[in-house]
């Protein structure tokens, strides 16, 4: 079976490619010309160059494929031109899904995010049916992914055979950029984590996330969403776990949200108008961290058989990878 994977050179995408190759699939990868493809080195894949803003390249890449895993997205908590994020994540996704329908793709798995899932006001765990109010959709990345998911589900009603997966905070090797969660590990290893904010996140092994994509393609119900997560942890717990893994000292100073928020406004303002470089304290990330992002993955476990491997082991593998690849 020939399968197309977009975003195949990224953190989650490359894990999906490896899982597909292990399952015996013939894999075609859709990557932008000139992009970093180190995560694909040594893999037997067919490269289809293209861009999510180029409809012709999408159609060409889809030809002859039976399945599509749309993992690609422009992911950043700050961009000098946020409009590019909407062009790629929203418009590009819609055009790719329309092309998939025209090419007769048999199954589509769309990689969304838990950022498109609501969190109960009482501080409980969000699930696939927890509503998300537009006022709670902070920042351009979260908004663009929320809008893109709506596009996909809207096309399901017109015949698109798509399943949506919502990964939480994946951790593991080959986090090249790295993601915000990976950046926490890198900053800890560099001794930059001198304080922390009271917040929480849901960690999951990136290998489990990849397996969840394949399970969604095989067992997922069309038009349904599946949260791919595992362990809900306070940030303080994550830092203490990293301390146990590395021997480094976990920060003990907790900074309240009301102090971090103005720092983020100042830092992001400097980036927007003076330095034009990514801020160290991105406003979008701080606003999202105001409430613990805890989620319930039981639907994916129950319906898909989604694995729940040790996040502690995933953190160890992430630490080893960052240390062995020049990040420290």
pLDDT digits (tens, 9 = 90+) for 125-165: 999 999 888 777 878 888 999 999 999 999 999 999 999 99
Structure tokens of 134?
């537009």
Residue 107 CA to residue 162 CA, distance in Å, equals: 6
Would residue 31 count as lying in a domain? Answer: yes
259 assigned to some structural domain? no
SS (H, E, C) the chain: CEEEEECCCCHHHHHHHHHHHHCCCEEEEEECCCCCCHHHCCCCCEEEECCCCCHHHHHHHHCCCCEEEECCCCCCCCCCCCHHHHHHHHHHHHHHHHHHHHCCCCEEEEECCHHHCCCCCCCCCECCCCCCCHHHCCCHHHHHHHHHHHHHHHHHCCCCCEEEEEECEEECCCCCCCCHHHHHHHHHHCCCCCCEECCEEEEEEHHHHHHHHHHHHHHCCCCCEEEECCEEEEHHHHHHHHHHHHCCCCCCCEECHHHHHHHHHHHHHHHHHHHCCCCCCCHHHHHHCCCCCCECCHHHHHHHCCCCCCHHHHHHHHHHHHHHCCCC
- Hey, what are 184's tokens? 């926490």
Mean pLDDT, the chain, rounded, equals 93
In a domain, 324, yes or no: no
Distance CA 55, CA 41 (A): 27
At 170, give phi and psi (nearest 5°).
Answer: -70, 150
Whether residue 157 lies inside any domain: the answer is yes
- Residue ranges making up the domain that contains 154: 2-176+203-230+294-310
Residue for token digits 């801020």?
Answer: 279
> b/e per residue, 128-158, with b = 16+ CB within 10 A?
beeebeeebbbbbbbbbbbbbbebbbebbee
Instruction: Give domain status of residue 276, yes or no.
Output: no
pLDDT, tens digit (0-9, with 9 covering 90-100), for 245-303: 999 999 999 888 788 887 877 887 777 778 777 777 787 777 777 788 999 999 999 99
User: What's the mean pLDDT in 166-190?
Assistant: 96
Please give the average per-residue pLDDT across 80-95, as a whole number. Answer: 92
pLDDT value of residue 280: 78
User: Half-sphere exposure of 111 toward its Cβ, with a 13 Å CA cutoff?
Assistant: 28
pLDDT interval class at 186 (50, 70, 90)? very high
Total count of domains within the chain: 1
Residues 6+ apart with CB under 8 A from 46: 26, 27, 28, 29
Is the Cα dihedral 182, 39, 279, 78 positive or negative? negative
Question: Using an 8 Å Cβ cutoff, are 161 and 195 in contact?
Answer: no
Does residue 123 belong to any structural domain of this protein? yes
Query: What does the pLDDT average to over 195-211?
Result: 95
Lowest mean pLDDT among 126-135, 151-160, 229-238, 315-324: 126-135
- Assess if residue 236 is contained within a domain: no
Cα distance between residue 174 and residue 144, in whole Å: 25
Residue 146's CATH number:
3.40.50.720
Residues in the chain: 328
Percent of the chain with pLDDT over 70: 100
The larger pLDDT score, comparing residue 78 to residue 191, is at 191
Q: Distance between CA 146 and CA 177 in Å, rounded?
A: 22
Tell whether 153 is covered by a domain. yes
Angle at CA 230, nearest 5°, toward 132 and 286? 50
């Amino acid at each position: 079976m020939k399968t197309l994977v977009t975003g195949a050179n990224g953190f989650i995408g490359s894990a999906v490619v490896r899982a597909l190759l292990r399952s015996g699939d013939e894999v075609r990868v859709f990557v932008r010309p000139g992009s970093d493809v180190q995560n694909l080195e040594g893999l037997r894949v067919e490269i289809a160059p293209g861009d999510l803003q180029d409809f012709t390249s999408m159609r060409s890449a889809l030809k002859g494929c039976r399945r599509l895993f749309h993992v690609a997205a422009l992911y950043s908590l700050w961009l000098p031109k946020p409009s590019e994020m909407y062009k790629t994540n929203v418009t590009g996704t819609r055009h790719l899904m329309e092309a998939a329908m025209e090419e007769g793709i048999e199954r589509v798995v769309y990689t969304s995010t838990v950022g498109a899932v609501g969190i109960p006001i009482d501080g409980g765990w969000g699930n696939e049916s927890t509503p998300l109010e537009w006022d709670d959709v902070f920042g351009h990345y979260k908004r663009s992914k929320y809008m893109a998911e709506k596009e996909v589900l809207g096309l399901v009603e017109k015949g698109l055979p798509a399943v949506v997966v919502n990964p939480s905070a994946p951790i593991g090797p080959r986090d090249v950029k790295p993601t915000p969660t990976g950046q926490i590990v890198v900053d800890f290893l560099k001794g930059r984590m001198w304080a922390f904010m009271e917040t929480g996140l849901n960690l999951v092994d990136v290998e489990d996330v990849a397996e969840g994509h394949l399970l969604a393609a095989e067992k997922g119900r069309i038009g349904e969403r599946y949260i791919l997560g595992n362990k809900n942890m306070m940030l303080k717990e994550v830092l203490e776990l990293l301390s146990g893994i590395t021997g480094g000292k976990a920060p003990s100073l907790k900074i309240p949200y009301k102090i971090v928020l103005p720092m983020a406004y100042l830092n992001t303002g400097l980036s927007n108008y003076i330095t034009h470089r990514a801020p160290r304290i991105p406003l979008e990330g701080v606003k999202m961290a105001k409430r613990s992002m805890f989620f319930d993955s039981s639907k994916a476990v129950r319906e898909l058989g989604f694995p729940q491997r040790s996040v502690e082991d995933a953190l160890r593998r992430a630490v080893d990878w960052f240390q062995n690849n020049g990040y420290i």
